[in-house]
């Protein structure tokens, strides 16, 4: 996308921050309001009340809301669509442009669009962040997050090219049969268990028929941690905004049972790992330098990507996450990364961790840090450096 054309006609002193209604929309819009921006949300019909009613901006009734001025809520305007892909409709794009909208993208852009290239090519609205890198999260891309992590020299679980190679517990990263974007991972220990478990789950309609194409990854035993970073092209600094871990249904329910209860329950209730939220957590300070080293390597690797993968040539912009586990190797701790988010993570609880506060005096959400970057870019007239 040509940045001058994208920003042509924009009043960069009167920006609106736009989001798709889900994932991290409230986090983004709350941060936007704290920094004085207007907000617009594209909400899908049937799920619009969260934005159109419960968190809609309205007149304050005397409650203490100094940060928001004389209002409560954080969603100024809602555009209701039948499908999220309708954001590509010319009239909606024109509406967004008339509001001088800078869009904050998230994983919804991939999940709810059959052809992501439509966003890359036809979405004529500036996006804060890396427009072309989001697809690298998908493991079926010719060049994907595994290649990027390898190029960055970041430790990842061993990948098995064939079930015949399995010589230890592995996680087969199969997708759900009904919702291809959701997890239906299963554990195997050898080629025989891989085949029998996969076929059983396929027969039960729990994994898609293409489960044999799923990545077979070494099962890493450690403390799960997501390292949520922010890279600023304006200051060229990497920041650790916070750390968290996932909550998954119904895995979390099983983990609250004793071993005998788990065995009994598994006879009647199939294990699922559908992400339902996050829990804020912290890590020891002795681990932080290792985490920053991984983050810096990752940023440099994205900045070296060829033009065919990143036409902007900018690399990662703003928020991203390296998701993995802290493991113990011969008495020493190390970090193994097994997933990447090349955009804002859907975890507003990050603000409950202290790391951004160590930098800015008080902890802030990812949405607020995004808004601060946009505010800074407006002030120094460098919006073109942080949008694609």
Would you list the domain boundaries of the chain?
3-128, 130-154+222-247+276-388, 159-218
* DSSP letter, residue 174: P
Average pLDDT (34-56) is 97
Nearest by Cα to 167 from 222, 224, 219: 219
Nearest by Cα to 265 from 255, 251, 254, 252: 254
The total of other beta-carbon atoms located within 10 Å of residue 54's CB is 10
Terminal CA-to-CA distance of the chain, rounded, Å? 7
- Interval 294-306: pLDDT, tens: 999 999 999 999 9
Q: Which range has highest mean pLDDT (92-106, 112-126, 274-288)?
A: 92-106
Query: What are the beta bridge partners of residue 319?
Result: 230
- Judged by DSSP in three states, 329 sits in strand
Helices (H), the chain: 3-7, 25-34, 49, 90-98, 108-111, 117-122, 145-151, 191-203, 251-255, 259-266, 285-303, 355-360, 366-380
Most distant CA pair in the chain: distance in Å?
67
Tokens of 29: 């819009």
- Interval 342-374: pLDDT, tens: 999 999 999 999 999 999 999 999 999 999 999
CATH superfamily for 130-154+222-247+276-388 is: ATP-grasp fold, B domain (3.30.470.20)
The total of other beta-carbon atoms located within 10 Å of residue 376's CB is 16
**How many Å apart are CA 118 and CA 351, to the nearest integer?**
33
Cα-based angle 286, 241, 140 (whole degrees, multiple of 5): 95
Task: Look at residue 6 in the predicted model and tell me its pLDDT.
Answer: 96
Say what the pTM is.
0.91
Task: Look at residue 66 in the predicted model and tell me its pLDDT.
Answer: 65
Q: Is residue 312 over pLDDT 80?
A: yes
Under CATH, to which class is 3-128 assigned?
Answer: alpha beta
Task: Look at residue 305 in the predicted model and tell me its pLDDT.
Answer: 98
When computed from its CA atoms, the radius of gyration of the chain, rounded to whole angstroms, is: 22
Nearest by Cα to 102 from 27, 26, 40: 40
Task: Look at residue 115 in the predicted model and tell me its pLDDT.
Answer: 84
Q: Are 321 and 226 in contact (CB under 8 A)?
A: yes
Average pLDDT (307-325) is 97
Average pLDDT (264-273) is 87
**How many Å apart are CA 225 and CA 217, to the nearest integer?**
18
Residue whose tokens read 């900045």: 303
pLDDT classification of 330: cutoffs 50, 70, 90 = confident
Q: Are 12 and 21 in contact (CB under 8 A)?
A: no
- Interval 58-105: pLDDT, tens: 987 776 666 676 789 999 999 999 999 999 999 999 999 999 999 999
DSSP 105-120: --THHHHT-S-THHHH
Q: Are 148 and 138 in contact (CB under 8 A)?
A: no
* DSSP letter, residue 335: E
Nearest by Cα to 246 from 332, 317, 319, 321: 321
- Residue 255: CB partners within 8 Å, gap ≥ 6? none
Of all residues in the chain, the percent with pLDDT exceeding 90 is 82
Q: Is residue 273 over pLDDT 80?
A: no
């Amino acid at each position: 996308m040509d940045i001058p054309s994208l920003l042509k006609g924009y009043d960069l002193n009167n920006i609106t921050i736009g989001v798709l209604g889900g994932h991290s929309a409230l986090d983004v819009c709350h941060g936007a309001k704290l920094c004085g921006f207007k907000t617009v949300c594209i909400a899908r019909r049937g799920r619009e009340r969260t934005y159109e009613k419960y968190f809609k901006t309205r007149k304050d009734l005397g409650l203490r809301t100094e940060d928001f001025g004389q209002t409560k809520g954080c969603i100024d305007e809602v555009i209701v669509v039948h499908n999220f892909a309708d954001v590509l409709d010319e009239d909606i794009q024109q509406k967004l442009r008339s509001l001088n909208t800078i869009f904050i993208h998230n994983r919804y852009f991939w999940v709810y669009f059959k052809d992501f290239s439509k966003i890359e090519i036809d979405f004529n609205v500036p996006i804060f962040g890396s427009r072309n890198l989001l697809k690298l999260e998908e493991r079926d891309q010719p060049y994907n997050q595994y290649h990027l992590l390898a190029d960055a020299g970041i430790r990842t679980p061993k990948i098995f090219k064939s079930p015949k190679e399995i010589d230890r517990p592995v996680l087969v990263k199969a997708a759900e049969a009904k919702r291809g974007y959701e997890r239906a991972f299963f554990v195997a220990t050898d080629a025989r268990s891989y085949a029998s478990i996969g076929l059983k789950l396929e027969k039960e309609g729990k994994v898609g028929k293409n489960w044999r194409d799923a990545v077979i990854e070494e099962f890493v035993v450690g403390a799960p941690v997501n390292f949520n970073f922010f890279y600023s092209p304006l200051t060229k600094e990497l920041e650790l905004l916070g750390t968290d871990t996932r909550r998954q249904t119904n895995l979390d329910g099983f983990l609250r049972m004793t071993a005998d209860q788990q065995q009994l329950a598994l006879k009647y209730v199939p294990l699922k790992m559908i992400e339902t939220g996050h829990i804020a957590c912290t890590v020891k300070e002795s681990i932080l330098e290792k985490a920053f080293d991984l983050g810096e390597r990752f940023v440099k690797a994205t900045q070296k990507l060829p033009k065919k993968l990143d036409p902007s040539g900018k690399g990662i912009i703003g928020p991203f996450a390296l998701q993995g586990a802290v493991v113990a190797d011969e008495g020493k701790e190390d970090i193994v990364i097994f997933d990447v988010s090349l955009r804002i993570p859907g975890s507003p609880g990050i603000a409950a961790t202290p790391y951004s506060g160590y930098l800015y005096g008080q902890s802030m959400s990812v949405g607020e840090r995004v808004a601060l970057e946009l505010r800074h870019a407006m002030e120094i007239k460098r919006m073109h450096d942080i949008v694609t």
